[in-house]
Amino acid sequence: MDKDSKIFVAGGTGMVGSAIIRKLLQDGYTNIVSNYHRRPPAISELVPVDFHRVDLTNQAETERFFQEQKPQYVFLAAAKVGGILANDTYKAEFIYENIAIAANVIHASFRYNVSKLLNLGSSCIYPKFAPQPLKEEYLLTGPLETTNEPYALAKIAAIKLCRYYNEQYGTNFISVMPTNLYGPYDNFDLYTSHVLPALIRKFHLGKSLEGDDWEAIRHDLIKNPIEGIDGRASQKEILAVLSKYGIKGSASAPEKPSVTVELWGTGEVYREFLHVDDLADSCLFLMEKVNAWDLCRLYPKSDPAPKRIESELEVPDYFLNVGSGTDLKIKDLSNLIKIIVGFSGEIRQDPTKPDGTPKKLLDISKITRLGWRPKIGLEEGIKKTYEWYLSSGK
């Protein structure tokens, strides 16, 4: 990519898309376009970006955007995302919207001659009981985790779309499968969030209850209401909704002097986490340095005298894992976040709630062989994320 190449970051208002945009701007790229669906972004860091209102689930809108903007490079970071509860509740929306976004953007990229596309997926594409660590070749070798199967199937479909457009049309479309992500602009809604941002917020609210700090609690709820309950609600209403989400007790209530935070599952399952800025760094690395034919035998479209390329990596579906290379128990993650946030109350596990996949550690040996490694440690990343949460309007 040249510094003035037209680059489309699909989903630029989300956590991943905004991180990719920040990285592009940091590295001197000047011609970035993105989309929003319902309302323009209110992210000051993204001001240099040309945003357009486009519903990527709508094929006509998507193709019109590509026809008008003519992007040369595409980062497909748009998706409907959520944690176990959201995935298990909105199954139809998760499979439909994510398949529609992928199909529309990938097909438009082919139709309007995009030079290169990088598709963002998820580690949930792997079978529930696949061997650990998860290698790229384990795709479709067993049944998926049922709680996020609709989302996983949509992401698998996107991988296959990239593969078959490469093989039929000679496109240069690759995919990356990141592990569990966290960082600035994450979703901290307690109903739809993933585990790490949910823990940060739960412990923050728990700490505020411990200190009887109603100013902090109301400030938090003004930024991000819970089921319509915001900072203007009564203490009784606020305590009720916090209790519903496992944040129980109050320092001002003599009959309940301690505060507990209740968490879903046993806490014994393992998860790997990657700071979103590390993911953005890997995406730019791959877009600048790695082509589809570097991952598998393919005839390069740009080669005037095509020949069969011998790839050392041999990834038939043209995707790479991106992760930190280490994992930990959710129970240990909870204790780490508890310490960072400063909550001193009790953690209680609810084993009647689902754990999800028992273990999900990615094998990142292929991308490290290409020359990329993560830089941000988990403790450092959580501290930065909590600081961002406290200072942000989210």
Domain borders along the chain are 7-186+272-325+361-376
Q: What whole-number distance in Å separates Cα of residue 81 and Cα of residue 295? A: 27
Task: Tell me which DSSP letter residue 135 carries.
Answer: P
Mean pLDDT of 293-303: 69
Q: Enter the tokens of residue 84.
A: 């176990």
Tell me the β-bridge partners of 157.
none
Tell me the β-bridge partners of 264.
350
To the nearest 10°, report the CA torsion of 6, 10, 15, 18: 20
More confident residue, 327 or 42: 327
Whole-model pTM: value is 0.90
Q: What whole-number distance in Å separates Cα of residue 175 and Cα of residue 75? A: 10
* Coil, strand or helix at 168: helix
Query: What is residue 305's predicted lDDT score, i.e. its pLDDT?
Result: 46
Mean pLDDT of 15-34: 95
Q: What's the 3-state SS for 46-66? A: HCCCEEEECCCCCHHHHHHHH
The lowest-confidence range among 104-108, 153-157, 271-275, 306-310 is: 306-310
Tell me the β-bridge partners of 75.
9, 118
Write the DSSP string, 203-247: HHHHHHHHTT-HHHHHHHHHHS-BTTB-TTS-HHHHHHHHHHTTE
pLDDT in tens, 181-198: 999 999 999 988 889 999
What percent of the chain has pLDDT above 90?
A: 77
Q: Report which of 316, 355, 327, 354 is spatially closest to residue 140, judged by C-alpha positions.
A: 316
84's enclosing H/E stretch is: helix 84-89
Give me the active site residues, please.
151
Dihedral sign computed on CA atoms, order 151, 157, 161, 163: positive
How many other C-beta atoms are found inside a 10 Å radius of the C-beta of residue 231? 17
The lowest-confidence range among 13-17, 20-24, 281-285 is: 13-17
Q: What whole-number distance in Å separates Cα of residue 22 and Cα of residue 44? A: 11
Dihedral sign computed on CA atoms, order 350, 357, 363, 199: negative
Instruction: Tell the CATH topology of 7-186+272-325+361-376.
Output: Rossmann fold (3.40.50)
To the nearest 10°, report the CA torsion of 94, 174, 78, 353: 40
- Kindly list the distances between the CA atom of residue 337 and the CA atoms of 71, 197, 203, 249, 383, in Å, as whole numbers in the listed order: 41, 10, 8, 20, 9
Query: What is residue 296's predicted lDDT score, i.e. its pLDDT?
Result: 81
Mean pLDDT of 123-151: 93
Count of helix runs (H) and strand runs (E) in the chain: 13, 14
Query: What is residue 390's predicted lDDT score, i.e. its pLDDT?
Result: 95
Mean pLDDT of 92-112: 97
Whether 69 contacts 6, CB under 8 Å: yes
